[in-house]
């Protein structure tokens, strides 16, 4: 974490974000989806040293893991241009995986904060209003939670 003298605030570096979010979530012995969601929302308010941050809610049945699972993901994306003018895009993902029930198979959503001019309060409210969000947090138990960061 560095201190930005011009803005008078502390700023996370990209290499610190995954560890920081995991630390926020670690206060729960067995975190629920809502625990992680609430910590994720707090985390998105933190300044990160990047050019253009964005937030994504994504869900659907995918086979990225080698078998078809329902993915329920909260993502914070970081865009940064390095000194050599090479762009870097990294995503920090809270990924819940579920057995793909018939009900869950009907959902496939990709919703970016870009769609709302990065108004995060409205973005979070809209996600929470989605039927899939309500169905999953009330009726399903994930088989796995992964929190990880990677370049895309």
Residues 6+ apart with CB under 8 A from 81: 51, 87, 88
pLDDT, position 32? 95
**Is the pLDDT score of 8 beyond 90?**
no
pLDDT, position 132? 97
pLDDT tens per residue across span 14-69:
899 999 999 999 999 999 999 999 999 999 999 998 888 899 999 999 998 889 99
**In a 3-state reduction of DSSP, which class is residue 63?**
coil
Q: Rounded mean pLDDT of 113-118?
A: 90
| Segments forming the whole domain that contains residue 16 | 2-151
Q: How many structural domains are present in the chain?
A: 1
């Amino acid at each position: 974490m560095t201190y930005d003298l011009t803005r008078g605030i502390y700023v996370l570096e990209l290499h610190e974000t995954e560890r920081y979010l995991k630390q926020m979530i670690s206060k729960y012995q067995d975190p629920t989806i809502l625990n992680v969601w609430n910590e994720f929302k707090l985390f998105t308010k933190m300044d990160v040293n990047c050019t253009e941050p964005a937030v994504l809610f994504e869900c659907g049945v995918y086979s990225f893991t080698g078998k078809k699972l329902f993915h329920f993901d909260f993502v914070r994306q970081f865009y940064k241009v390095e000194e050599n003018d090479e762009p870097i895009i990294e995503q920090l993902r809270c990924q819940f995986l579920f057995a793909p029930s018939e009900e869950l198979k009907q959902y496939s959503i990709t919703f970016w904060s870009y769609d709302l001019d990065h108004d995060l309060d409205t973005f979070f409210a809209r996600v929470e209003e989605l039927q899939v969000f309500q169905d999953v947090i009330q009726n399903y138990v994930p088989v796995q939670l992964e929190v990880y960061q990677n370049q895309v």
